[in-house]
């Protein structure tokens, strides 16, 4: 297992908890410090969020490397999970544009698209958002979760699944992320977090379980889980 992390305060959070409980060996690559990706020997890959745009290859040349890695892993059917920037990288890897949208910050609803892709999850649930860009759905990919303000909330292409929203968050991470807001806004978001986090954590664990159980090749998120 390898985790590509782009910012100190955007770790794998609850996904890391599941990885540790599973006993799967895991290495973290802090790209904000290393500015390069070492050769990856893992079978599973998680790509976290970050403040940069997937279009900033001039400032962050390793973005180009990440996109190439995603294409290679999908070609082999190796499991990939992208969060926020990670989802945008998946879309961009296969030729879809990523561009500014109405900024989302806080809790919003998403709903499942299609039947049977993720039967273990609710058809509609609340997720925490913090992003200012969105992606189109590339050729050969499937939209699997839809939002009202920003329609494209999750996509799947073969062995790669990308969420625009953040299932990995703990309450402490949310407190850190919203610390710049006025006190009243922070209080409102924390109250909502107490309400919605328990279900979000269950959904995160369900996705983590399926990801960790995925075979190391010839995997597709759109195949029924066994």
Residue length, the chain?
Answer: 226
Residue 222 lies inside a defined structural domain of this protein: no
Q: What is the pLDDT of residue 226?
A: 55
Residue 31 lies inside a defined structural domain of this protein: yes
Residue 124 lies inside a defined structural domain of this protein: yes
Beta strand 98-112 pairing with 124-135: antiparallel
What predicted TM-score, i.e. pTM, was given to this entire model?
0.96
Contact yes or no for 157/141 (Cβ under 8 A)? yes
* 140 contacts: CB under 8 Å, gap ≥ 6: 94, 157, 158
Residue 223 lies inside a defined structural domain of this protein: no
Mean pLDDT by 10 residues, the chain (226 residues): 95 96 94 91 95 95 96 96 98 98 96 82 95 96 94 97 97 96 96 97 96 94 73
- Structural domain containing residue 61: 2-213
Q: Using alpha carbons, select from 93, 96, 43 the residue that is nearest to residue 66.
A: 93
Query: What pLDDT, in 10s, does the model give residues 85-122?
Result: 999 999 999 999 999 999 999 999 999 987 767 888 89
CA distance linking residue 224 with residue 226, whole number of Å? 6
Residue 219 lies inside a defined structural domain of this protein: no
CA distance linking residue 121 with residue 31, whole number of Å? 32
Q: What is the pLDDT of residue 114?
A: 75
Q: What is the pLDDT of residue 223?
A: 80
Q: How far is CA 2 from CA 94, 162, 178, in A?
A: 21, 16, 28
Inter-helix orientation angle 62-76/85-93, to 10°: 70
Q: What is the pLDDT of residue 222?
A: 86
* 143 contacts: CB under 8 Å, gap ≥ 6: 113, 137, 151, 152, 154, 155
Contact yes or no for 50/11 (Cβ under 8 A)? no
Number of domains in the chain: 1
Q: How far is CA 220 from CA 188, 193, 215, 225, in A?
A: 39, 32, 9, 10
Q: What is the pLDDT of residue 118?
A: 84
CA 87, 92, 94, 95 dihedral sign is positive
Residue 104 lies inside a defined structural domain of this protein: yes
Residue 218 lies inside a defined structural domain of this protein: no
Q: What is the pLDDT of residue 117?
A: 78
Q: What is the pLDDT of residue 178?
A: 97
CA distance linking residue 131 with residue 61, whole number of Å? 21
Check which CATH number belongs to the domain holding 159 and give it: 3.40.50.880
Query: What pLDDT, in 10s, does the model give residues 36-63?
Result: 999 998 999 999 999 999 999 999 999 9
CA distance linking residue 35 with residue 51, whole number of Å? 14
Q: Where are the alpha helices (DSSP H) in the chain?
A: 14-22, 31-34, 62-76, 85-93, 171-177, 183-213
Q: What is the pLDDT of residue 224?
A: 65
CA distance linking residue 194 with residue 225, whole number of Å? 30
Residue 132 lies inside a defined structural domain of this protein: yes
Q: What is the pLDDT of residue 159?
A: 97
Contact yes or no for 70/80 (Cβ under 8 A)? yes
């Amino acid at each position: 297992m390898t985790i590509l992390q782009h910012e100190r305060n955007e770790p794998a959070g609850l996904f890391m908890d599941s990885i540790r409980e599973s006993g799967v060996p895991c290495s973290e690559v802090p790209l904000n410090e290393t500015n390069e990706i070492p050769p990856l020997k893992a079978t599973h890959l998680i790509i976290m969020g970050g403040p940069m745009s997937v279009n900033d290859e001039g400032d962050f040349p390793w973005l180009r490397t990440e996109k190439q890695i995603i294409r290679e892993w999908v070609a082999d059917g190796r499991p990939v999970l992208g969060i926020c920037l990670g989802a945008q990288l998946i879309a961009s890897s296969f030729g879809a544009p990523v561009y500014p949208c109405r900024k989302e910050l806080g809790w919003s609803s998403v709903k499942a698209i299609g039947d049977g892709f993720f039967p273990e999850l609710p058809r509609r649930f609340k997720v925490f958002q913090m992003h200012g860009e969105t992606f189109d759905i590339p050729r050969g990919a499937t939209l699997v979760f839809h939002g009202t303000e920003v329609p494209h909330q999750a996509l799947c292409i073969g062995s790669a699944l990308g969420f625009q929203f953040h299932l990995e968050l703990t309450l402490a991470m949310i407190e850190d992320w919203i610390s710049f807001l006025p006190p009243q806004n922070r209080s409102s978001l924390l109250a909502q977090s107490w309400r919605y986090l328990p279900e979000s954590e269950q959904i995160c664990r369900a996705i983590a379980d399926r990801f960790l159980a995925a075979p190391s090749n010839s995997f597709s998120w759109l195949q029924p889980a066994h």
